[in-house]
Amino acid sequence: MAYDQISDADLNLTGFMDAPIGLMVLSNRVIQRINTEIERIFGWTRDELEGRSIRALYPSSVDYEKTGSRWRRWLDERPRYTDERFMQCRSGEIIWTRASGRTLTPGDPFRLMVWTFEHLENRPPNSATLTPREREVARYIVNGYTSKETGLAMGISPRTVEVHRGSVMKKLGVQNAAELVAKMIVQN
């Protein structure tokens, strides 16, 4: 079918569904519509996500609540919000994303919103001070890998992983892996 034979409504739908960035429409933090890129990024089908709370995409309830509070404060004064944060895939894998949202109802910001999500595969958290190797190690730690498993996945020794892990923990001011995971997920 030629472009000039497609209705405006079908073009709009095609633009939404096939956009090369994840698009999501929310109402009071409940997912109303998603596009195919959201399915690809998070591993859920449209039928599984639409009608569910966006909480399904957060690594923890604390992160969900904290992010919601941050959105609310920001959106009460401005119609758009952007940040980078960890989100969780259907498989349980935690990924680093950039989220940008806009409220369509400024008087009640959560009533109707449009969000974009982009998987930032090679850019974990607020870690300008971390080296690329430290960021990669941090990504494995957040996903529950042991030093041995991380080393195998990265092609380095478990001892080298421990050195990077120690450096990450020192730079982020944490004492153990649990604190590191909590800080990386909740802080961001």
pLDDT in tens, 92-143: 888 888 899 999 999 999 999 999 999 987 655 555 577 778 878 887 888 7
**pLDDT of 128:** 52
Enter the CATH code of domain 3-119.
3.30.450.20
**pLDDT of 186:** 54
Cα–Cα separations (whole angstroms), residue 36 to 10, 17, 79, 126: 16, 6, 25, 28
> Is 47 within 8 Å of 78 (Cβ atoms)?
no
**pLDDT of 170:** 85
Question: How large is the average pLDDT for residues 70-90?
Answer: 86
Query: What residue segments make up the domains of the chain, in order of their start?
Result: 3-119, 132-187
Name the CATH code of domain 132-187 (choices 3.40.50.2000, 3.90.1150.10, 1.10.10.10, 2.40.160.40): 1.10.10.10
**pLDDT of 1:** 56
Question: How large is the average pLDDT for residues 36-54?
Answer: 98
**pLDDT of 122:** 63
Q: What is the mean pLDDT of the chain?
A: 86
Least confident of 24-28, 100-104, 144-148, 174-178: 174-178
**pLDDT of 185:** 63
**pLDDT of 6:** 84
**Rounded Cα distance, 10 and 38, in Å:** 20
By three-state DSSP, how is residue 117 classified?
Answer: strand
**pLDDT of 168:** 86
Question: How large is the average pLDDT for residues 55-80?
Answer: 86
**Rounded Cα distance, 123 and 96, in Å:** 7
| pLDDT band for position 181 (cuts 50, 70, 90) | confident
- Residue 73: which H helix or E strand, with range? helix 61-75
Considering only residues 37 and 80, tell me which one the structure prediction assigns the higher pLDDT: 37
